[in-house]
Amino acid sequence: MGCCSIELNLTNLILLGVLFFIGKKAIKFFQKWKVEKMLEKWDEAPKDKLILHTLWRCKPMPSISPFGLKLETYLRMAKIPYELDTKNPSGPKGKLPWITYQGVHLADSQLCIEYLNKKFDISLNKSASKEQLAAARACRIMLEDHFLWGLVQYRFVDNINALSQLMKIPGLFKLILPIRSYQLKQRLVNQGIGKHSPTEIYQMTEADLHTASAVLGNKKFFGGDEPCEEDCALFGCVAQAIWGSPGSSFERLCEGELKNLKEYCERMKDLYWADWEQCRDKS
């Protein structure tokens, strides 16, 4: 009897494993199919229009996605007309932002910028020195690939309920916030930084803001007197510290000790976001 029940449990376990495997495959298949259908719809978009697919407008600022704000700021810097789509924010790689232009769907803010530079023969780096460009690139990678995790810790792990107000997440979707928080906590661990305590994560990422502030120094922009291409990304990230993470140590730093970062963001805002207030969802 005992032996039989072990056999039964084992069989059940195997069955459960098989079901789990099939379930995972089915979900992946369904997600792929959904993306393909969505892209087919956008294949029909007018060829002369550039469509920026990104997050919907948020309360404190036009986008609480650093990459969304980066790409939209780039389009404004490069004077490329665009139309916003916030119904399909996630694109072919499951991330936002992405663009549709002349039947091409392209994901990743940096790849989009490089593609559009070629397509429209744009160079936003004419007035910056080689050293300024190199320092700006290093800062961009530091903020996008390291500071970002501090922001994730703050928004998704430590203040998930505040996020639902920043983003105006509709009723039912609020129910999945704890799952999203868990997923992102796992991502922090997989990245490595999540193995540290929150205090350590904040110390490490606050140091990124100190570094960016030191590199900026007394300059108006990271590109010097004029913004360079990297400024769109740097603005996209630093603006999140200032307007997109209320109550955080990032915000406090930019309001105080690192106020050159706030002044910098105000300059970028004045230059490219005259309609900033209209682009906030104040409803």
Ligand X SMILES: N[C@@H](CCC(=O)N[C@@H](CS)C(=O)NCC(=O)O)C(=O)O
**Contact positions vs ligand X (CB under 6 A):** 65-67, 95-96, 108-110
If the CB atoms of residues 180 and 220 are measured against ligand X, the closer one turns out to be 180
* CB of 89 vs ligand X, minimal distance in Å: 8
**CA-closest candidate to residue 236, choices 113, 116, 14, 63:** 63
Nearer to ligand X, 109 or 153 (CB): 109
Q: What is the DSSP string of 137-188?
A: HHHHHHIIIIIHHHHHIIIIII-HHHHHHHHT--GGGGGGHHHHHHHHHHHH
Rounded to the nearest 10 degrees, the angle between the axes of helix 130-142 and helix 198-216 is: 170
Provide the minimum distance between the beta carbon of 181 and ligand X in the complex, in angstroms, as a whole number.
13
To the nearest whole angstrom, how small is the minimum distance from the Cβ of residue 11 to ligand X?
36
Closer to ligand X by Cβ: residue 95 or 196: 95
128: left (phi over 0), alpha (psi -120 to 50) or beta: beta
Q: Residue 35: name the closest of 101, 107, 115, 109 by CA.
A: 107
Minimum distance of ligand X from residue 227's CB (angstroms):
18
Whichever of 114 and 270 has its CB closer to ligand X, that residue is: 114
- Residue 7 or 114 having the CB closest to ligand X: 114
Burial of 229 (0-12, 13-18, 19+ CB in 10 A): buried
Q: Which two tokens stand for residue 89?
A: 């924010």
Q: Is 84 helix (H, G, I), strand (E, B) or coil?
A: strand
Asked if 238 contacts 266 with a C-beta cutoff of 8 angstroms, the reply is no
Kindly list the distances between the CA atom of residue 202 and the CA atoms of 11, 181, 243, 251, in Å, as whole numbers in the listed order: 47, 17, 17, 12
Closest CB to ligand X among residues 96, 258: 96
End-to-end CA distance of the chain: 66
Q: Which is nearer to ligand X, 108 or 230 (CB)?
A: 108
- Output the smallest distance, CB 94 to ligand X, in A: 6
Least distance to ligand X, CB of residue 140, Å:
10
Residue type, 8: L
Cβ at position 95, least distance to ligand X in Å: 3
